Chains A and B, each alone.
Chain A
Amino acid sequence: MSKITFEIDGKSCTGKAGQTIVEAARENGIYIPVLCWYEGLKPAGICRICTVKVGGRNMAACTTPITEEMIVENALPELEDMRKALVEMLFVEGNHMCPTCEKSGNCELQALGYRYGLLAPRFPYLFPKRAMDASYTKIMIDTNRCVQCRRCVRGITAKDGRHIFAMQDRSGHSVIVADRELEAKMSDDLAKKAMDQCPVGAILKKEIGFAVPIGKRKYDKAPIGSEIQK
């Protein structure tokens, strides 16, 4: 694979042809905040938190491939503020009660909130009426917490490739559901994978809770992004 030289915030970086800005940045020790992005899944450009400037234009770093001599601006204060605004939007768009959430400490939305020093969102809370569906066999879906990243849609499929998760409706009404027939046939491992891939506490595997106590979880130990940008 051919080598590509490009630049992020003035730092010279190298990557491989076909890599996206997010992937190449990680290999160069630069953290571009992401939420819908997940290693191994097809990037989808949903949360927009990875937005960077390329040639003065805003682009999602997770879906934009690197090109030779590309100049990427990442840590601009104006961009960071808009990213923070997106994190805030996600907080007000759903109902996020961190203290009672099983994902607290492992939650990427919460971790991004900490990263951006989020105290109170600039937007008023929308307090939507959303459902918690525990009538599934293997999992529960709490749509109050869903950030609609579609990691589950993209990453969790039946053996024959059919989707187990899908979005329903559109606009602010859009909501994630699982296919009842296929969900019931999920292996325990797949159900666990669905829970682990979910960046928030929207998908929970039944019968296990708080296996790792709060305080000893991933982001309790080190903030998000610190594993990449030392």
Chain B
Amino acid sequence: MGSIGDVVTRAVKKHGKDASMMLDVIRDVQSELGCVSDEASAAIADNLGVSKVDVDGVVSFYHFFSKEPRGKYTVYLNNSAVAEMKGRDAVAKAFEQAAGCSFGVTTFDGQIGLYDTSDIGMNDQEPAALINGVVFTNLTPEKAKDLVFQMKAGKDVKAMAKESGDGQNQSALIGAMVKNNIQKKGAVIFAPYEAGSGIKKAVAMTPEAVIEEVKKSNLRGRGGAGFPTGMKWEFTRNSKGKKTYVVCNADEGEPGTFKDRVILTELPQMLFEGMAVAGYAVGAEEGVLYLRAEYEYLLKYLQSVIESMRNSNLLGKNVAGKKGFNFDITIKLGAGAYICGEESALIESAEGKRGEPRNRPPFPAQNGYLGYPTTVNNVESLCAAARIMVQGGEWFAKMGTFQSHGTKVLSVSGDCSKPGIYEVEFGTTLQSLLDEAGGSDAVAVQVGGPSGKCVSKKDFGKKLSFEELPTGGSIIIIGPNTDLLKVVHNFMDFFVEESCGWCTPCRAGNVILKQRLEKIMAGKGTESDLKEMAQWCTVVKAMSRCGLGQTSPNPIATTIENFREVYEAKLQKGADFVTEFDLNKAVQEYCKTAGRNPNIEGH
């Protein structure tokens, strides 16, 4: 410990007197002092030469930073839709009862803080929580009570996680109870991979030939947007800059996706080789892995993999024996913000700022990380690139459909008996995936997460592909016993919280949409309410600045399209207007103060 000033000075000394390191400095201060108080942010501001409000602006932007202490033990309980399906509410109640405080606050003695958090990437083992960064999965009310008991006894958090995970989760450097749940291995990502094979093949070619090979493969970005990877690399290579960067987007935040977590756990070497391949192709010497804060438990392990790759000359100077090709990787941690999965917001965040998307042009390929040309690629895309080096672009292009080649790693969760990771060839139908995952009685499937599409049975025969059913990996199965509108509401809640707040339609529009949805769910909606809500979805989608707002109305818009009857059942048919005003509720506070009982009927 030490005084606030000492802690800040130490953090700044460690990370450098550089505003672009602000996130790292804040993280150290937060973890050492439990919060970033006014005094601490003033000290950080002084040290980094920025104004205090800028530091506060960063602190308040990220979910895992706080101005107020959040307890010696901070419980972040996931509140994703699937967590709710799996009994999250009962677990939350058990936490509250045992701890003696409600969610959103810390106990009086400052020991335990209970907080909600958006999807932590554990949808296949919900309910799950992070306690001081340690993952707890498959929680039950009993387990929650036991955890609180142990926290009250002052136990070490790591020692509280008694179950053990599978695969590398058991390794000493991870030691997490997380399960990989790899249900199906495909040819591209989860097939056996010989260490060093991808990068060695790459450096035997010219960088231009590497790009050609990736273009030949027709590899498209696996994060969801599907931009051709080879083209991205070419743009980046052709941009002029003193330096070039490769940034790996390991900030999978779309509710329901957890495939990158499993790749990071089991195939980090393949990923880092993919980054080196990208570095060689675009002419970059530095790579940055932007790792979401929820996966901080993988940090030491990932760093050790990087270190061992340096020792075996797969990173560092003259990589794989290629004279003059130097490439190394550093890891930057996020701090809890879905929007940072958007590539320009990710860059802003990596630069120590609020994770707000940038205006385009310029594109990251021209002006990215620290102002240099940057290619930002998804974890899975980079692994695929490593594989393409080994097997060739043609081999890759043969798999899949007309516009979608290779395989896709899917994160399957929700109402099914075999949730987990499925690597399938593009073109697989949704129905066959459902059959494999034990989700045959699905009523609806959310393809591509909340920002994707909610499809009904009539679309189950469609192919998982960019042209028919695109997905960044999230597949959430919704069975007959799950309330669809509750799921939609959960998704809207998510977008309302995760909007960065920059542009009007996303900031205000999502709140308005959610409110209207609540009106309908409460049985107070009319036919025109539903019609208007659909129109407002169009406005938010059409006018928003980035992908978040352009897709955030999708949960409502696609369920109106595919499950209209669910809404109609809630409407007051034929009514022009249904008041939401509740006179009893409105005078409640007054009556309480005046010591009277409301007597509405009598007036």
Q: From residue B131, how far is it (CB to closest CB) to chain A in Å?
A: 24
Specify the chain A residue showing the minimal Cβ separation from B519: A124
Complex contact A60–B504 (CB within 8 A): no
A165 neighbours in B (Cβ, 8 Å):
53
A172-B508, A179-B51 known; A167 and B359 CB under 8 Å? no
Check if A179 sits within 8 Å of B53, measured CB to CB: yes
Are the CB atoms of A126 and B511 closer together than 8 Å? yes
Does B497 lie within 8 Å of A126, measured CB to CB?
no
Knowing A43-B359, A58-B543, the reply to whether A48 touches B51 (Cβ < 8 A) is no
Of all chain B residues, which has the CB nearest A147?
A: B504
Q: Are A48 and B60 in contact (CB under 8 A)?
A: no
- B110 close to A (CB within 8 Å): no
Of all chain B residues, the one with the shortest Cβ separation from A93 is B508
A149 to B, closest residue via Cβ: B504
Any A CB within 8 A of the CB of B56: yes
Verify if A184 is at the interface (C-beta below 8 Å from B): no
Complex CA distance for A180 and B542, rounded to whole angstroms: 38
The answer to whether A182 has its CB under 8 Å from any CB of chain B is: yes
The minimal Cβ–Cβ distance linking A68 to chain B, given in whole angstroms, is: 15
- Taking a contact as CB atoms under 8 Å apart, the answer to whether A170 and B56 are in contact is no
What chain B residues lie within 8 Å of A60 (beta carbons)? 359, 545
Chain A's closest residue to B499 (CB) is: A171
Interface flag for B167 (CB, 8 Å):
no
A46 interfacial by beta-carbon distance below 8 Å: yes
With A and B bound together, what is the CA distance between A51 and B542 in angstroms? Answer: 9
A158 to B50, CA, bound (A): 10
| Chain B hits for A122, CB < 8 A | 532
Within 8 A of B (CB), among A165-224: 165-174, 177-182
Residues of B within 8 A of A167 (CB): 57, 354, 501
Beta-carbon contact of B359 and A169 below 8 Å: no
* A85 to B535 Cα, complex, angstroms: 11
| Interface residues in B, total, Cβ within 8 A | 41
Evaluate contact between B501 and A169: CB separation under 8 angstroms. Answer: yes
Which of B49, B51, B500, B502 interacts with A166 by CB under 8 Å? B51
Chain B, 56-75, contact with A by CB distance < 8 Å: what is the 0/1 string?
11001100000000000000
**What residues of chain A lie closer than 8 Å to B505, measured between beta carbons?**
48, 86, 89
Q: How far is the CB of A149 from chain B (nearest CB, A)?
A: 9
A86 and B543 contacting across the interface, CB-CB below 8 Å? yes
Q: Knowing A126-B511, A162-B51, A179-B53 are in contact, say whether A82-B501 is a contact too (CB < 8 A).
A: no
- C-alpha spacing A93/B512, complex, angstroms: 9
In this assembly, does B405 line the interface, its C-beta being within 8 Å of a C-beta of chain A?
A: no
Contact assessment for B508 and A48 in the assembled complex, using a CB-CB cutoff below 8 Å: no
Q: Report if A54 contacts B (CB, 8 A).
A: no
Complex Cα gap A85–B271 (Å): 45
Give the distance in Å from the alpha carbon of A65 to the alpha carbon of B360 in the complex: 10
Give Cα distance in the complex from A178 to B54, angstroms.
10
Given contacts A45-B359, A60-B545, contact A172 B499 (CB under 8 A): yes
B508-526 contacts to A (CB < 8 Å): 508-512, 515-516
A172 near B496 with CB under 8 A, answer yes
Bound CA–CA A180/B507 (angstroms): 27
B83 at interface, CB cutoff 8 A: no
CB–CB B53/A166 < 8 A: yes
Partner of A126, one of B50, B339, B499, B512: B512
| B532 / chain A contacts, CB cutoff of 8 Å | 122
Bits for B473-512, please: 1 = Cβ < 8 Å to A, else 0: 0000000000000000000000011111111110111111
Closest residue on chain B to residue A87 by CB atoms: B504
Residues in B neighbouring A154, C-beta threshold 8 A? none
Residues of chain A within 8 A (CB-CB) of B510 are 172
Q: Is the CB of B57 within 8 A of A89?
A: no
User: For A124, what are the chain B residues with a Cβ–Cβ distance below 8 Å?
Assistant: 512, 515-516
Q: How far is the CB of A107 from chain B (nearest CB, A)?
A: 16
CA distance A44 to B356 in the complex (A): 11
A123/B512 in contact, CB under 8 A: yes
Q: Are B508 and A58 in contact (CB under 8 A)?
A: no
Bound-state CA distance A223–B539 (Å) is 26
- Could you tell me if B50 and A162 are in contact, using CB atoms closer than 8 angstroms? yes
Interface residues of A in 87-128 (CB under 8 A from B): 89-90, 92-93, 122-124, 126
**Could you say which residues of chain B place their CB within 8 Å of the CB of A180?**
52
A contact residues around B515 at 8 Å (CB): 124, 126
Instruction: Decide if B77 is an interface residue (CB 8 Å cutoff).
Output: no
Complex Cα gap A51–B361 (Å)? 15
In chain B, positions 331-384 with a C-beta closer than 8 Å to chain A are 337, 339, 354, 359-361
Is residue B544 within 8 Å, beta carbon to beta carbon, of the partner chain?
yes
Does any Cβ of A come within 8 Å of B536's Cβ? yes
Residue A143, interface by CB 8 Å = no
> In the assembled complex, how far is the CB of residue A144 from the closest CB belonging to chain B, in whole angstroms?
14
Query: Would A65 and B361 count as touching, CB distance under 8 A?
Result: yes
B502: chain A residues at CB < 8 Å are 44, 46
Across-interface contacts of A72 in B (CB, < 8 A) = none
CA distance A194 to B481 in the complex (A): 56
Which chain B residues lie closer than 8 Å to A178 at the CB level? 53
Name the CB-closest residue of A to B67. Answer: A168
Q: What residues on A are CB-neighbors of B503 within 8 Å?
A: 45-48
- Whether A164 touches B504, Cβ cut-off 8 Å, given contacts A124-B515, A126-B512, A170-B337, is no
A171 B60 Cβ-Cβ under 8 A: no
Contacts of A65 in B (CB 8 A): 361
Closest to B355 in A: A170
Contact of A171 among B51, B52, B498 (CB under 8 A): B498
CB pair A163–B54 under 8 Å, yes or no, is: yes
CB-CB contacts below 8 Å: B300-335 with A? none
Known: A166-B54, A168-B60, A169-B61. A45 touches B545 (CB 8 A): yes
Q: Among the listed A58, A90, A171, A173, which residue makes an inter-chain contact with B504, where contact means beta carbons less than 8 Å apart?
A: A90
Chain B residue nearest in CB terms to A162: B51
Interface string of B36-58 (1 = CB under 8 A from A): 00000000000001111110110
Q: Is A74 an interface residue (CB 8 A)?
A: no
Interface pairs A-B: 3 shortest CB-CB = A174-B501, A166-B53, A93-B508
10 CB contacts below 8 A, A to B, read A45-B359, A85-B536, A89-B504, A89-B512, A124-B516, A148-B501, A166-B56, A168-B60, A170-B501, A181-B52
Additional 19 contacts, C-beta under 8 A, given A48-B505, A48-B544: A45-B359, A45-B503, A46-B502, A47-B504, A48-B503, A89-B504, A89-B508, A92-B508, A123-B536, A162-B50, A162-B51, A164-B51, A166-B53, A166-B54, A169-B61, A171-B497, A171-B498, A172-B511, A174-B507
